[in-house]
């Protein structure tokens, strides 16, 4: 089943994967050029942070693109399965729905990790040259852990879309993730009341943990952001499992119920 999902997801559309990588750089370049044009290339992102401004943006853009991809793919999963009639077939099969979801998530995780490594290459290069291979592996591990709450978020969105019977909230959710991810810019620039929003999203903790790892002033990489990421992952996991149980009970009573 994993092999089938890998073929479905990755092998079928290598052009799209390459395009996503190139477009992430185009997006990062857009932000960098516009940011430098208005704020000057010697802005505080370049002078106060220990990380190169392009690498800072590459990390943020990669996390945002990855999150939006996961939200889009997972968010539409149940709804598109409902429309194509695949959901009923899956429910009637001897495989549990949770196994199907996990198996769907595995190739997406491989896909996501490859995309992240390619799109955040400037930051990974800094980590490699500064601290060696171990830190590069640690950053990949952070992304892998960070993707778990993102998948859960995508699954919760999927339930909402299936219940509403329209993917209309997908664009709204992506706009929300894009703006309040806490990955594209430091939280300090948000109005005080809005700063609570990024704190509720896993993207902020992924970005914090990754930037802490590659922009540490000491000779050793800083892993201070990792425990918070683990707590957020556990919190999302608990909420996800409660809602999944409710949803799987209701879905067996009828797809549109």
Partner 1 sequence: MVLLRSTILRSFSADLWRGVLVNFRGVDPWVEMISSPIWVLGLVLAIASQNPSILRDPITVKDICWSIVVFSMISDKLWIVGHMLDREKRSGVLENILVSNIPLSIHTLSPIVVSMLWSLASLGIILITVFPILGVNPAPIDPVLTAIGYILSDIVAAGIAMLYAPAVIKLRRPWIFTTFFQFTLPLISGIIPQSYVPPEIRGVIALNPLSYPVEILRRGATGSSYIDVQIGEAFMISIAGIAILYMIGMLFLIIARRMIIKRGV
Binding site for partner 1 (CB under 8 A): 15-16, 19, 22-23, 26-27, 29-40, 43-46, 53, 60, 166, 168-169, 171-172, 174-176, 178-180, 184-186, 188-191, 194
1 vs 26, beta carbon nearer partner 1: 26
Provide the token pair at 191: 């109005």
Least distance to partner 1, CB of residue 42, Å: 8
- The residues near 251 (Cβ < 8 Å, ≥ 6 apart) are 87, 91, 97, 257
End-to-end, the C-alpha distance of the chain in Å comes to 28
C-alpha span between 251 and 257 (Å, rounded): 7
Is the CB of 4 or the CB of 19 nearer to partner 1?
A: 19
In the complex, the smallest distance separating the C-beta of residue 15 from partner 1, rounded to whole angstroms, is 6
Environment class of 133 (CB within 10 Å of its CB; exposed 0-12, middle 13-18, buried 19+): exposed
Measured from the CB atom, the residue of 174 and 233 that comes closer to partner 1 is 174
Between 42 and 238, whose beta carbon lies closer to partner 1? 42
The answer to whether 101 touches 1, Cβ cutoff 8 Å, is no
CB of 41 to partner 1, least distance (A): 8
Q: How far is the CB of 110 from partner 1 (least distance, A)?
A: 22
Q: Least Å distance between CB 253 and partner 1?
A: 26
Residue entry with tokens 């990062």: 28
> At closest approach, how far in Å is the CB of 73 from partner 1?
15
Exposed e or buried b per residue across 33-58, where buried means at least 16 C-beta atoms within 10 angstroms of its C-beta: eebbeeeeeeeebbeeeebbbbbbbb
Nearer to partner 1, 133 or 168 (CB): 168
Query: 56 or 131: whose CB is closer to partner 1?
Result: 56
Tokens of 49: 């942070």
CA-nearest of 225, 216, 226, 228 to 49 is: 216
């Amino acid at each position: 089943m994993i092999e089938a999902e890998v073929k479905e997801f990755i092998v079928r559309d290598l052009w799209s994967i390459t395009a996503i990588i190139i477009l992430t750089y185009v997006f990062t370049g857009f932000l960098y050029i516009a940011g430098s044009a208005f704020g000057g290339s010697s802005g505080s992102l370049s002078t106060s942070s220990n990380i190169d401004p392009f690498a800072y943006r590459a990390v943020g853009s990669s996390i945002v693109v990855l999150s939006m991809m996961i939200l889009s793919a997972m968010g539409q999963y149940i709804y598109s399965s409902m429309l194509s009639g695949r959901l009923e077939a899956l429910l009637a099969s001897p495989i549990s729905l949770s196994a199907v979801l996990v198996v769907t998530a595995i190739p997406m995780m491989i896909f996501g990790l490859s995309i992240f490594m390619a799109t955040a290459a400037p930051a990974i290069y800094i980590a490699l040259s500064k601290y060696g291979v171990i830190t590069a592996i640690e950053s990949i591990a952070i992304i892998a852990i960070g993707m778990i709450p993102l998948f859960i978020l995508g699954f919760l969105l999927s339930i909402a879309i299936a219940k509403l019977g329209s993917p209309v909230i997908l664009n709204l959710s992506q706009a929300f993730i894009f703006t309040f991810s806490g990955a594209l810019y430091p939280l300090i620039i948000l109005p005080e009341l809005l700063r609570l929003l990024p704190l509720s999203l896993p993207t902020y903790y992924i970005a914090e943990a990754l930037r802490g790892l590659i922009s540490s002033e000491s000779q050793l990489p800083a892993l201070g952001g990792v425990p918070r990421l683990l707590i957020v992952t556990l919190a999302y996991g608990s909420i996800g499992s409660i809602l999944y149980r409710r949803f799987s009970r209701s879905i067996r009573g009828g797809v549109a119920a």
